[in-house]
Structures are given as C-alpha cells and as structure tokens.
Amino acid sequence: MDLQTEEKIPAERSKSERKDGRPLHGKVAIITGSTSGIGLGIATAFAKAGASVVLNGLGDHDAVEKTRKSLARNQGVDVQYHAANMENPDDIADMVAFAHKTYGRVDILVNNAGIQHTARVEDFPAEKWNQIIAINLSAAFHSMKAAVPKMREGGFGRIINIASVHGLVASVEKAAYVAAKHGIVGLTKVVALENAENGITANAICPGWVRTPLVEKQIVALSEKLGISIEEASVKLLEEKQPSKRFVEVEQIGEMAVFLAGSAASNITGQTMVMDGGWVAR
Ligand code: NAD
C-alpha cells in the first residue's frame, strides 16, 4: 500500500505537468480570507502554480471582483469567489460544496481567515473572544469537516492551516488569538493523523510578523501609544520579537504553501512550518 502510494503521486504529477508545466495544474484550491494579506499572497502563488482558485473573504464587491478577474487573467487559471462568513458554519459548508460543484473536486484547503484584538484578559470583551475563536479556530474545523470527505473521494488532499508563532508561544494582550492559534496547531495534528493513510496531509504554517493590514493596525496603535512615527513603530515591533528584524513576506508564505501542496511534501504531515526570523528560537 505504501509503495503504491509513493508510486502514484509522482505519476500523477508528471501527467499534469505534461499538460501545463506548472506544479499545481489541475488542482482546485480554496483559500479562506484571501481578499487581503497572506491569503491573497497564497491565492496568487497557487494561481501562478496553475491551480484553480476559490477566493473568500470580506471586502467591497467591486474590489473583490477586480482581484478575481486580474488573478484569472494574469495567471491563466479559473478563479471563483465565495462570500462565506467564517463565523457561520453553514456558509463554510456551502463554500466547500460550491468548490466541489464548480470543479468536481477539492484538492487543497487553506484556512487563513483571521482577526486580532488586543486587551488584557480582564478587559477582553467576551464578544471579541467568541468572534476570534469562531473565525481563527472553529472555521477551520467546519471547513475541514466539509472538505476531508471530498479529498478522500479524490484520494488526494492538502490542508494548510495558517497558524502563527502564537500557536507555539504567547504574548500579552492576545488571549483569544493565542488560544485559537494553539488550538489550530493541535487540530492540524489530529486531522493529519486521522488521514495519514488517505493521501491527505495537514500542516500548519506559523509566521512571525508579516506586514499586512492586520499588523498595520498594531503598528499604528504602537506609534500612537509611544508618540513615534509609523516607521519607528514598525522597527520597534520587529526588534521586540523577531531577531531578523525583517518582516516575513506574503510571497514567501505563498511559496511555502505551494511547496506543502506539491508532491515533494506528500510525506510531510502534522507539522508546523515556522517562518519567524528566529522569534521562537530564543
Ligand atoms: P488581513 O487582515 O490582511 O487578512 C485577513 C483576511 O481574513 C481578509 O481577507 C479578511 O477579509 C478575512 N476575514 C476576516 N474576517 C472574516 C470573516 N468573518 N469571514 C471571512 N473572511 C474573513 O490579515 P493577515 O495578516 O493576512 O492574516 C491572515 C492570517 O495570517 C490570519 O489567520 C492571521 O492570524 C495569520 N497571521 C498573520 C500574521 C501577520 O503578522 N500578519 C502572523 C502570523 C499569522
């Protein structure tokens, strides 16, 4: 059985590469929260690698439509959009069903949608706690619950959960975020083990600071708190946690996701791929 699986995946890759030459040609990927930041970076990397892409996320209809069309045109792939709200389990099931109905398969699922709120535990609004747990953790449970049976049908699956260094270590004022990210690291391992013999892998990517709108808000808050410029605040933010003193780029996370989705990663499962400029090394 093991040997057959090892044989099957390279053969499948060479068949698809003959058609298009791109590593993810013929694959169908859903990326949650892909109208901005890291999710959009991963969607772009997948489209460049030849996958059909289902975008998701909040945002102005015209802006989302512009992103969808330009991604499809620039990369020569089909790109769809589903407006599922990650707080709503029925929406999430509908998004997976939509991808399956549109393409007849679901190969890759990236759980990326996420939000942040910072406050000490005693000041943390309960509704913010519930919202962060719903979007950053429970949404991944609901999407995997819907997608795993579809992946089993196809005998192939790649689940990539965007956790964070906060899935491994804590910071003050991030109770819900740290709890959700630790949770998603554990959840990833469970799904990896449950599907280890099914051709389905599940891994988490754990980035350190990435300069996206989610982090920009924290840079602005720091600059206001300390009365320093935005650029000084961004340097301070990096210096405090990230030894490389450089932001991780969304393109780098996109490349890591393409690697995890490809045939070279068929035996990498239940792992945390940490991209943090040394944050958790000390
Ligand atoms: P971002 O704000 O740029 O993007 C977040 C995306 O999630 C957007 O597309 C947004 O529309 C979507 N989203 C938010 N609420 C949603 C909802 N209810 N339903 C559907 N979509 C929703 O942020 P980002 O920095 O790109 O974050 C993406 C992921 O990366 C998050 O899970 C975040 O925790 C994680 N992450 C970010 C960093 C960082 O430094 N930026 C570091 C580690 C992990």
Q: Are 106 and 151 within 8 A, CB to CB?
A: yes
**Tally of domains within the chain:** 2
Choice from 184, 212, 244 to test ligand 1 binding pocket (greatest atom count within 8 A of CB): 212
Please indicate, yes or no, whether residues 60 and 199 belong to a single structural domain of this protein: yes
Looking at the fold, whether 41 and 156 belong to one and the same domain comes out as yes
Same domain, 169 and 44: yes
Query: Which domain, by its residues, includes 242?
Result: 211-247
The mean predicted confidence, pLDDT, of the chain is: 94
Ligand 1 contact, 114 CB (< 6 A): yes
The verdict on whether 177 is a catalytic residue reads: yes
User: Does residue 37 have its Cβ closer than 6 Å to ligand 1?
Assistant: yes
CA 264 / ligand 1 centre spacing (Å):
27
Q: Is residue 4 part of a domain?
A: no
**Residue 162 Cα to ligand 1 middle (Å):** 9
Instruction: Please tell me whether residues 159 and 221 are part of one structural domain.
Output: no
- For the CA of 209, the closest atom of ligand 1 is 40
Given 177, 209, 247, 279, the catalytic residue: 177
Residue 12 lies in a domain: no
Same structural domain, 113 and 234:
no
Burial grade of 224 (CB within 10 A; 0-12, 13-18, 19 or more): exposed
Both 86 and 122 in one domain: the answer is yes
Q: Specify the residue with its C-alpha closest to ligand 1, atom 12.
A: 33
Cβ–ligand 1 contact at 212 (below 6 Å): yes
Rounded to the nearest angstrom, the distance between the alpha carbon of 17 and the centre of ligand 1 is 32
Residues 190 and 238 in one domain: no
Asked whether residue 219 falls in the same domain as residue 168, the answer is no
90 in a structural domain: yes
Q: What is the CATH number of the domain that holds 74?
A: 3.40.50.720
* Contacts of residue 97, Cβ cutoff 8 Å, sequence gap at least 6: 146
pLDDT value of residue 19: 64
Residue 102 lies in a domain: yes
Q: What is the 3-state secondary structure (H, E, C) of the chain?
A: CHHHHHHHHHHHHHHHHHHHCCCCCCCEEEECCCCCHHHHHHHHHHHHCCCEEEEECCCCHHHHHHHHHHHHHHHCCCEEEECCCCCCHHHHHHHHHHHHHHHCCCCEEEECCCCCCCECHHHCCHHHHHHHHHHHHHHHHHHHHHHHHHHHHHCCEEEEEECCHHHCCCCCCEHHHHHHHHHHHHHHHHHHHHCCCCCEEEEEEEECCECCHHHHHHHHHHHHHHCCCHHHHHHHHHHHHCCCCCCECHHHHHHHHHHHHCHHHCCCCCCEEEECCCHHHC
Q: Does residue 258 lie within any of the structural domains? A: yes
Gap from CA of 38 to ligand 1 centroid (Å): 7
The pLDDT of residue 15: 47
Same domain flag for 145 and 174? yes
Do residues 194 and 229 share a domain? no
Q: Domain check: are 75 and 168 in the same one?
A: yes
Residue 6, in any domain of the structure: no
- 133 found inside a domain: yes
Kindly state whether residue 9 falls inside one of the protein's structural domains: no
Residues 146, 240 within the same domain: no
8-28, pLDDT tens digit by residue? 444 444 444 446 899 999 999
Residue ranges in the chain modelled with pLDDT below 70? 1-19
Instruction: Answer yes or no: is the C-beta of 167 below 6 A from any ligand 1 atom.
Output: no
